């Protein structure tokens, strides 16, 4: 059962109320947005993921300069993929993107959503991780070990568990509650929506 939402969910309670060009292009199509989360990686993590590009630039001044032609674009790609964690909750579903990776979970496919405290050691760190129990997490430093835990069914009917790290999971859970409450009773008890996996 999805946690019952409070009577009002406002943009002021969200992590980021700003719609940027990336979201406008790649994270639409699920209807009215009820919650928007955008968490850039800490500066040290961005430096770590982009360090290959930095090494590549340094190589341009050595006899191995040609290797830099490979390292620079590869480092830029790694930085772009893992520098921002985004997710939106809309009437039509939840969309998660860590770089270009993440699932789209239609509202009718959601069985439950709750705010949880998680142990990062269970997942082995930050990024896109899978626990031994088969649960996926999308997280980065700074979420204080808190996440939204969504149990849902994919297109094959298999049960999936996805966690999204965020310091304020209650707001996202409330928005999911608003979305599921807007479904017709037949949609809630009948056929589930089709989830898509980009994991």
Same domain? For 140 and 185 the reply is: yes
Same domain? For 51 and 35 the reply is: no
d(Cα 30, Cα 164) in Å, to the nearest integer? 18
Same domain? For 171 and 132 the reply is: yes
d(Cα 170, Cα 167) in Å, to the nearest integer? 9
User: What's the mean pLDDT when you consider all of the chain?
Assistant: 76
**Does the structure show a pLDDT above 80 at 84?**
yes
Distance of CA 24 to the CA centre of its chain: 16
pLDDT tens digits for 63-76?
A: 776 776 666 666 66
Same domain? For 117 and 185 the reply is: yes
What average pLDDT does this structure show over 74-95?
Answer: 79
Minimum mean pLDDT range among 4-18, 50-64, 114-128, 145-159 = 4-18
For residues 107 and 175, the answer to whether their CB atoms sit within 8 Å is no
Report the pLDDT value the prediction gives residue 63, as an integer from 0 to 100.
79
**Does the structure show a pLDDT above 80 at 112?**
yes
Report the pLDDT value the prediction gives residue 185, as an integer from 0 to 100.
56
Closest CA to 164 of 109, 104, 108: 104
Closest CA to 199 of 158, 147, 169: 158
Containing domain of residue 56, as a range? Answer: 47-79
Per the structure, how many domains does the chain have?
2
pLDDT tens digits for 158-181?
A: 999 999 999 889 999 999 999 998
- 196 lies in a domain? no
Minimum mean pLDDT range among 11-15, 79-83, 166-170 = 11-15
CATH of residue 149's domain is 2.30.29
Distance of CA 155 to the CA centre of its chain: 19
- 1 lies in a domain? no
């Amino acid at each position: 059962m999805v946690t019952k939402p409070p009577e009002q969910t406002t943009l002021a309670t969200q992590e980021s109320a700003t719609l940027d060009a990336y979201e406008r292009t790649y994270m639409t199509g699920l209807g009215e947005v009820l919650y928007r989360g955008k968490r850039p990686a800490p500066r040290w993590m961005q430096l770590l993921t982009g360090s290959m590009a930095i090494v590549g630039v340094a190589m341009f001044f050595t006899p191995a300069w040609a290797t830099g032609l490979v390292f620079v674009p590869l480092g830029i790609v790694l930085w772009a993929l893992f520098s921002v964690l985004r997710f939106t909750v809309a009437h039509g579903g939840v969309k998660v993107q860590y770089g270009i990776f993440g699932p789209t979970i239609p509202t009718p496919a959601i069985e439950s959503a709750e705010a949880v405290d998680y142990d990062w050691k269970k997942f082995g760190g930050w990024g896109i991780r899978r626990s031994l129990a088969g649960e996926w997490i999308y997280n980065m430093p700074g979420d204080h070990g808190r996440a939204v835990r969504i149990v849902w069914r994919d297109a094959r009917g298999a049960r999936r568990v996805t966690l999204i790290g965020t310091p304020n999971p209650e707001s996202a859970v409330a928005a999911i509650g608003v979305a599921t409450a807007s479904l017709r009773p037949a949609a809630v008890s009948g056929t589930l929506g089709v989830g898509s996996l980009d994991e």
